[in-house]
């Protein structure tokens, strides 16, 4: 369990984490915008 926490901690501290996080947020936004929740998304 501790090993997994260290792996996650190293990943978060890595420079590429921000890029991965941005990509995931963009992907989630595209999926929500093109789903049944799209109308609610556009009112934001």
Please give the pLDDT value at position 28.
Answer: 93
Please give the pLDDT value at position 24.
Answer: 95
What is the three-class DSSP state of 21?
Answer: helix
pLDDT values of the chain reduced to their tens digit, one per residue, 44 residues: 777 778 878 877 777 777 888 999 999 989 988 888 878 877 77
Look-up of token digits 């901690």: 9
Please give the pLDDT value at position 18.
Answer: 79
pTM: 0.57
Q: How far apart are CA 16 and CA 7, in angstroms?
A: 14
Please give the pLDDT value at position 40.
Answer: 80
């Amino acid at each position: 369990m501790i090993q997994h926490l260290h792996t996650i901690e190293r990943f978060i501290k890595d420079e590429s984490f921000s890029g991965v996080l941005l990509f995931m947020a963009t992907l989630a936004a595209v999926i929500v915008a093109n789903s049944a929740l799209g109308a609610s998304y556009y009112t934001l």
